């Protein structure tokens, strides 16, 4: 155990040193020292006959990130193996950590931004400004005239337009990391794809703005210098302007449809137009050329690996065991899972129902606990659009089987928020879903390790009407009611905002669980690469990248180099990029498929798809809203009712609740509508002390 922890710390230290070195190279890239002194030496040493002009950037900008990705896989594998023996909760939290995680801004379109994020964002903006300034300083000191009679200010205008494209290229070096769901890099710094999607949005807006200025600037330049014919040029030996225009056209469609107002009102327009990123990427890479492709290759390479593994995982249909219908219109889907599959609370899983749409994948927050329910993974759905409406219609029909595919689960590497002395959970409506998995996690720790410290939990939940109280049923899993919720230090304050008093008894509003027939062709939900997912992912990353380098070296040395050897001819500029893209994708597909087939051959689960024989509850913990005299059928339900106070016709006074929090280490978790999360963040940032540690959770269903 101690040896594994020491090795994990060593890997993380190497990772940090490599990352700092990689960033330092980006800082030095635009400088005069790099251009005039380092570049000639690097080209002489690294641009061999095997890699030509790509050699320098492959070593300096591609290799470090790929190396870090492999290190990250080994680190996460060691962490996963040692997590069961380590203490699940520790109350030691530094004041510095509290300050760095304190929310500073809470506004659209930035979202909730803490001190640490402000610092990194400011550093990134400084990097962009630094790079632009140095690029222009070097360029203005050695201006090139690109046309007869060209004026100095015109040459400078062209230089500025060109360098704006360079700065946008820096954004692309980071653009794909946040959307790589199975990333081995993000967990190393305590992040997930769900929590970093806002960084992808920021980078997308910045890069598209810079590319738009770059494009417009060149069109103006060509216009004032009578070179508009260059607009239609697809050069074989240099940059293709036509490819750049096509890429910008796709980028504009993606950019416009991604704005918040359009994304919320016309999600399917946003969803389908965003898939133009494949064409955008192809033409963008053709435009910038092979040498510049290698500068941003790692992000796209890792994203392609993740995307292909997700594709392979989605080809398996999983077994839907049951659907628990609650009186409030919420449905809990219970899917059979492999016992070896483990995930952290607040994890997310993507679902596809081919009978509704073969293309649409929707994220859902997982409410189950992998230890409490070793054979079941549960997600919750509520009608919120056309796709979920169709799903509920099918689940309410007389179907005895529903075909479902999944991607994931994806979640945090550790449950850091459970290390606090106490937790204050604030939810609005359906935002309660991520808290269900947290409370279930505490339930299993309390029952299996009674001497272990668990945080005191206070759940503040607001609902529109009393029927929504039945969502508290989800705190108790459908597959088991043996774990006593009475052992959990839990207090629930439920607020009903649109009703002044409890409604009359209604015997028809009960929980209804539908069981589906097993299909022998269905599989349990499992990780794409099995129990040793991180170790095998490291094998995929390293083998595919090494294969790419070997094949690229062979193609360059024995096919491209003979054409360019004497300097009389230049191999087609576009074809070089196409070779890069083809070889990268081919190596990823071959390596991933081989590792997956090997894994399935060596690890065959003996788990048979079958219906679990679990007693379906007939009443709801929310049943007290239909009559307080009603006797509940089991102790877990009684405990849940006793832990709950219902307030009708009122809203929670968030400021008072937060200011009244007592204790030295309180984790504040908020989930729900954007306005609620922003309100709590603002209160924590201005009125609360260092004892409150704020965490904003996103929920999906």
Three-class DSSP labels, 297-340 = HHHHHHHHHHHHHHHHHHCCEECEEEEEECCCCEEEEEEEECCC
Judged by average pLDDT, the poorest of 117-121, 313-317, 318-322, 608-612 is: 608-612
Cβ–Cβ under 8 Å, residues 50 and 562: no
| Cβ(105)–Cβ(113) below 8 Å | yes
Round to whole Å and give the CA distance between 70 and 462: 44
The torsion angles phi and psi of 218, rounded to 5 degrees, stand at -70, -35
CB 150 within 8 A of CB 196: no
Q: Is the dihedral of CA 497, 501, 504, 506 positive or negative?
A: positive
Residue in 315, 358, 424 with CA at minimum distance from that of residue 663: 424
> Are 441 and 609 spatial neighbours (Cβ–Cβ below 8 Å)?
no
Q: Which pLDDT value is given to residue 565?
A: 80
Residues 267-326: pLDDT tens digits?
888 888 999 999 999 999 999 999 999 999 999 999 999 999 999 988 888 888 888 888
> Which range, 70-84, 181-195, 346-360, 483-497, is most confident?
346-360
Look up residue 513 and give its DSSP letter.
E
Of 182, 434, 412, 196, residue with least CA distance to 313: 182
In whole angstroms, what is the distance from residue 625 CA to residue 639 CA?
16
Judge if the upstream peptide bond of residue 13 is cis by omega within 30 degrees of 0.
no
End-to-end CA distance of the chain: 38
Rounded to 5 degrees, what angle do the CA atoms 443, 445, 447 make? Answer: 70
- Range scoring the smallest mean pLDDT among 113-127, 454-468, 668-682: 668-682
Residues 97 and 694: beta-carbon distance below 8 Å: no
User: CA–CA separation, 387 vs 700, rounded Å?
Assistant: 14
Going by the DSSP 8-state scheme, the letter that residue 503 receives in this structure is P
Strands annotated E in 13-154 = 103-107, 111-114
In this structure, are residues 279 and 250 in contact, taking their beta carbons and an 8 Å threshold?
yes
pLDDT at 632 over 50: no
Distance CA 166, CA 172 (A): 10
Residue 176: is it exposed, middle or buried by C-beta count within 10 angstroms (0-12/13-18/19+)?
buried
- Report pLDDT for 502: 76
β-pair type (644-648, 490-496): parallel
* Residue 247, pLDDT above cutoff 70: yes
Return d(Cα 76, Cα 218) in angstroms, integer.
Answer: 46
DSSP string, 402-459: --EEEEEEE--SS-GGGGSSEEEEEEEGGGGHHHHHHHHHHHHHHHH-TTS---EEEE
In the predicted structure, residue 532 carries a pLDDT above the cut 50? yes
Q: Which CATH number does 316-502+648-697 carry?
A: 3.40.50.80
Residue 400: is its pLDDT beyond 50? yes
Side-chain half-sphere of 675: how many Cα atoms within 13 Å?
A: 2
295-to-159, 301, 385 alpha-carbon distances in Å? 21, 12, 41
Cα(391)–Cα(331) distance, integer angstroms = 10
- Max CA-CA distance within the chain? 95
- Tell me the pLDDT tens digit for each residue of 363-397: 888 988 888 888 889 999 887 778 888 888 888 88
Tell me: the pLDDT tens digits for 403-423? 999 998 887 766 667 777 888
pLDDT in tens, 45-63: 887 888 988 999 999 999 9
Residues 6+ apart with CB under 8 A from 561: 49, 52
d(C-alpha 392, C-alpha 91), whole Å: 42
| Mean per-residue pLDDT over the chain, rounded | 82
Tens-digit pLDDT profile for residues 2-19: 677 778 788 888 999 999
Cβ neighbours for 397, distance < 8 A, ≥ 6 positions apart: none
- β-partners of residue 322 are 334, 515
Does residue 626 have a cis peptide bond before it, meaning omega lies within 30 degrees of 0? Answer: no
**Residues 6 or more apart from 398 whose CB is under 8 A from it?**
none
pLDDT at res. 281:
96
- What per-residue confidence (pLDDT) applies to 601? 75
DSSP-based three-state secondary structure for 279: helix
| Token pair for 441 | 């996690």
**Cα(571)–Cα(550) distance, integer angstroms:** 20
In order of 267, 515, 659, the CA distances from 645 in angstroms are 37, 33, 20
How many other C-beta atoms can be found within 10 angstroms of the C-beta atom of residue 268? 13
Instruction: Report domain extents, the chain.
Output: 103-312+531-563+572-599, 316-502+648-697
Is residue 332 predicted with pLDDT exceeding 70?
Answer: yes
Q: Token pair for residue 587? A: 């190596």
- Mode of pairing for the β-strands spanning 512-515 and 490-496: unpaired
d(CA 275, CA 264): 17
pLDDT average, residue stretch 191-206: 87
């Amino acid at each position: 155990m101690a040896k594994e922890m020491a090795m994990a710390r060593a890997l993380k230290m190497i990772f940090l040193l490599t990352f700092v070195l990689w960033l330092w190279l980006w800082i030095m890239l635009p400088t005069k020292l790099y251009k005039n002194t380092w570049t000639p030496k690097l080209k002489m040493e690294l641009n061999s006959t095997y890699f030509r002009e790509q050699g320098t950037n492959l070593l300096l900008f591609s290799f470090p990130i790929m190396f870090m990705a492999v290190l990250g896989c080994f680190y996460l594998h060691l962490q996963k193996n040692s997590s069961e023996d380590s203490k699940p909760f520790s109350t030691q939290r530094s004041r510095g950590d509290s300050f760095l995680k304190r929310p500073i801004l809470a506004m659209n379109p930035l979202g909730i931004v803490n001190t640490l994020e402000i610092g990194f964002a400011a550093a990134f903006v400084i990097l962009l400004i630094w790079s632009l300034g140095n690029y222009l300083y070097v360029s203005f000191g050695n201006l090139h005239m690109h046309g007869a009679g060209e004026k100095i200010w015109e040459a400078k205008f062209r230089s500025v337009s060109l360098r704006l494209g360079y700065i946008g290229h820096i954004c692309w070096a980071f653009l794909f990391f946040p959307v790589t769901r199975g990333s081995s890099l993000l967990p190393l710094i305590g992040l997930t794809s769900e929590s970093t999607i806002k960084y992808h949005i920021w980078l997308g807006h910045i890069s598209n703005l810079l590319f738009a200025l770059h494009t417009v600037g060149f069109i103006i330049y060509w216009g004032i210098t009578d070179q508009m014919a260059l607009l239609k040029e697809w050069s074989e030996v240099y940059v293709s302007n036509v490819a750049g225009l096509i890429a910008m056209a796709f980028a504009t469609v993606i950019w416009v449809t991604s704005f918040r107002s359009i994304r919320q009102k016309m999600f399917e327009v946003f969803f389908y137009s965003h898939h133009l990123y494949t064409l955008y990427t192809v033409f963008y890479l053709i435009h910038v050329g092979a040498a510049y492709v290698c500068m941003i290759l790692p992000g796209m390479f890792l994203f392609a690996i993740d995307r292909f593994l997700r594709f392979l995982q989605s080809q398996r249909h999983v077994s839907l065991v049951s659907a628990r219908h609650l009186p409030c219109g919420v449905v809990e889907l219970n899917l059979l899972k492999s016992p070896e599959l483990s995930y952290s609370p607040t994890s997310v899983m993507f679902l596809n129902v081919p009978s509704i749409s073969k293309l649409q994948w929707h994220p859902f927050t997982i409410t189950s606990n992998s230890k409490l329910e070793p054979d079941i993974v549960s997600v919750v759905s509520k009608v919120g659009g056309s796709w979920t409406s169709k799903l509920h219609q099918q689940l309410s029909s007389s179907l005895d089987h529903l075909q479902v595919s999944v991607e994931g689960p994806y979640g945090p590497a550790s449950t850091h928020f459970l290390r606090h002395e106490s937790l204050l959970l604030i939810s609005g409506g359906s935002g309660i879903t991520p808290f269900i998995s947290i409370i279930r996690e505490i339930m299993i720790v309390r029952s299996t390790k009674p001497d272990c410290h668990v945080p005191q939990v206070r759940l503040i939940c607001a609902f529109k009407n009393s029927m929504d109280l039945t969502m508290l049923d989800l705190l108790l899993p459908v597959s088991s009611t043996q774990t006593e919720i009475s052992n959990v230090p839990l207090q629930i304050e439920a607020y009903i905002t649109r009703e002044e008093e409890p409604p009359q008894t209604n015997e028809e509003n009960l929980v209804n669980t539908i069981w589906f027939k097993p299909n022998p062709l269905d599989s349990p939900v499992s990780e794409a690469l099995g129990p040793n997912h991180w170790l095998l992912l490291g094998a995929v990353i390293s083998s595919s990248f090494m294969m790419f380098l070997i094949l690229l070296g062979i193609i360059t040395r024995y096919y491209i180099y003979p054409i360019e050897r004497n300097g009389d001819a230049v191999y087609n500029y576009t074809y070089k990029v196409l070779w890069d893209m083809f070889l990268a994708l081919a190596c990823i597909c071959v390596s991933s498929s081989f590792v997956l087939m090997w894994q399935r051959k060596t690890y065959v689960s003996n788990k048979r798809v079958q219906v679990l024989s679990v007693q379906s509850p007939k009443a709801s913990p929310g049943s007290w809203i239909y009559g307080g005299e009603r006797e509940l059928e089991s102790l877990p339900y009684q405990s849940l009712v006793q832990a709950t106070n219902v307030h009708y016709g009122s809203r929670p006074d968030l400021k008072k609740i937060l200011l009244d929090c007592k204790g030295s280490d309180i984790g504040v978790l908020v989930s729900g509508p954007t306005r609620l999360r922003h309100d709590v963040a603002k209160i924590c940032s201005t009125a609360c002390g260092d004892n409150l540690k704020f965490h904003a959770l996103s929920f999906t269903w």
